[in-house]
Chains A and B, each alone.
Chain A
Amino acid sequence: MIATTLILLLVLIGLSIPVGAALGVLGLILDPLYSMLPLTRGIGELAWSTNNEFLLVAIPLFILLGEILLRSGLAERMYGAMSLWLSWLPGGLMHANIGASALFAATSGSSVATAATVGTVALPQIKRYGYNEPLFLGSLAAGGTLGILIPPSINLVLYGVLTNSSVPKLYLAGIIPGLLLAGLFMLTVIIGCIAKPEWGGRRITASWGERFASLRHLAPPLGIFLLVVGSIYAGLATPTEAAALGVTGAMILAAFSRRLTLSMLRDAVEGTMKATAMIMLIILAAAFLNFVMSATGITDAITGSIRGLGLSPVQMLFVIVVFYLILGCFMETLSMMITTIPIVAPIMIGLGYDSIWLGILIIVLVEAALITPPVGLNLFVVQSLRKSGSMNAVIMGSMPYVAAMALLLLLLALFPDLALFLPRVFD
């Protein structure tokens, strides 16, 4: 039963059938194979109740928030301000790349959008200041991945829905690891540039007057972050409501910079609805497949046989980390999360791991997937932005940052409180 399911899944996915359709068709096949009752009849009711779930409304809203902010012209000014504050460090603008990514991540729920936006502003500076190209490109690809760890995050909403965990707690739990990871990225740059000073490019100097004057460009993204995340913890709003407040705030900001036009909104909603439809098709199909798998006992059989291996919690954790690192090389991140979490989370939680902590761990692994070849979307985004040169430069340049992620995983395993401290304080 397990073998048949896995083989069918691999064949369907391997045939490059759209992931949503592959999951749905797998459900349709498994139902008559293993079930006494026609489970497929429930698909309509199941799809309606899933598609009508208020928590999931946060998904299109967070995508829309990012789309509007991107179009409101914030990015360039924000990057300029970040470079004034951070470029005295060894490695210069690479720190601005990471800092701007972290700040952008605090307003956007998407890693790809973060890399594309910050990358566009930053790339012309490589030649101008003579940076080591791979390390610079890597800082853009890796910095972009912060988008899904620092709240708000679409992926954390999804994890919350899949595991029935509290999204506000997940958001709180993501803050310290997110900032820590940004810090580790910067440390990577500093170590590299102390070892090889020529990697760091020419020094950029800024006066304190310029720095303070630039602060007003950091205010709008911070304002949106406070509006979204603050309203959740002030008890004012649920995650979905906070997302709506964020979109309203973003529209007001766009109006102030005279970018709120009908054609801008039309562009923004086209992008938003396309992404939403794509994600929801996978979610609806996965909901159906999960229903079939648990009703036929396949889910229990899989978790049972994994438990039967008798691995200790630490061994299991190691297996899961390796599993995600390998899978992440080949699979797109959202589909990877939706297909694996319903199986992985119950096993890990059964072994005594905290579901909030596990969520953060998995998100960091997903971030690694975004910058590991051959299918790391952020690598491709940065490569397409530079339009010339070899992809290898981006891949090699990202590797040190993968090491920083591995270090964060180790720290998370040794000190779970890195993730769990804030949720406990606010409880």
Chain B
Amino acid sequence: MTNPPPPNALAALLRHAERLSRAAVWCAGALTIASVLLISFDVLARKFLGFTTGGADELSSYAFAVSTSWSLAFATLQRAHVRVDVLYQYLPVRLAAVLDWVSLVALGVFMAMLTYYAYDVVGASLAQSSRANTPLATPLAIPQGLWFVGLLFMCVVLALMLLRASIALVTGDIATVKAIAGVRSTQEEAEEEAAAGERMVKGDAA
């Protein structure tokens, strides 16, 4: 049996994961903006130039799938997933921390199953060299593979979070559990939305 890595190393690892997830989100955003430009060009070309690029919809659908899966880890690290806190908010801190941990486990179980069977999809496309039934005849393994990488990254990040939260829970470090996996209360969420609104209107979002 190996010893678990010390919490400090784990914390550092999670910080790296956070940086990586932010970079992944920027890539996802760049893909989305590329889709926007491609689709816009396609619509305008169809109307005014009388030709179509053929495949703008197909390519942007792939971009959508890939950008979603690449953004999952970031959303999870930012605790963006919706949780219903009707009961949670009245629970004592320790019990709430246990629920935070249970939430990570549930998310982990679902993502692990999803990722495991998503590999089947990629594997089958690879084995049969499947191509999309479209003019582009895209080899499906490429978009599916990139999509799968995002899911896998999400699983790795979840595993790290779960490990850190488990150690913190066992050692009674409730604050850390909350920081990793606590519910962002409606209050907190609304405050952030409000702050974002203020920033934007005052124009110093940049």
Residues of A within 8 A of B (CB): 12-22, 24-25, 28, 40-45, 47-48, 51-54, 56-57, 60-61, 64, 70-71, 73, 75-76, 112-113, 115-117, 119-121, 231, 236-237, 240-241, 244-245, 247-248, 259, 261, 263-278, 280-282, 284-285, 330-332, 334-335, 374-375, 377, 380-385
Contact = CB atoms under 8 A, between A and B. Distances in A.
A263 B206 contact: yes
Contacts of B193: 112-113, 116, 377, 381, 384
B196 A14 contact: no
A274 B196 contact: no
B197 interface: yes
A17 B82 contact: no
25 contacts: A15-B99, A16-B183, A18-B83, A19-B82, A21-B110, A25-B109, A40-B117, A44-B118, A51-B147, A57-B61, A64-B33, A64-B36, A70-B201, A121-B201, A236-B47, A244-B60, A266-B26, A269-B28, A273-B71, A275-B80, A277-B68, A280-B68, A281-B72, A377-B186, A377-B189
Given A64-B36, A245-B43, A269-B25, A54 B113 contact: no
| Chain B binding surface SS class | helix
Interface stretch (B5-13, B85-93, B159-167, B169-177): B85-93
Given A25-B110, A278-B75, A385-B194, A248 B201 contact: no
Contacts of B205: 71, 264, 267
Contacts of B81: 18-21, 278, 281
Interface of B: 22, 25-26, 28-30, 32-33, 35-37, 39-40, 42-43, 47, 57-58, 60-62, 64-65, 67-69, 71-72, 74-75, 78, 80-88, 99, 102-103, 106-107, 109-111, 113-114, 116-121, 143-144, 147, 183, 186-187, 189-191, 193-198, 200-203, 205-206
Given A53-B61, A265-B29, A273-B29, A22 B197 contact: no
Contact of B197 (A64, A113, A247, A261): A113
A129 to B, nearest CB: 19
Contact of B71 (A16, A244, A276, A374): A276
Of B111, B114, B119, B187, the most chain A CB neighbours within 10 A belong to B114
| Chain A binding surface SS class | helix
Of B110, B147, B196, the most chain A CB neighbours within 10 A belong to B110
Contacts of B84: 13-14, 16, 19, 330-332, 335
A120 B198 contact: yes
Nearest to A380: B190
B36 A248 contact: yes
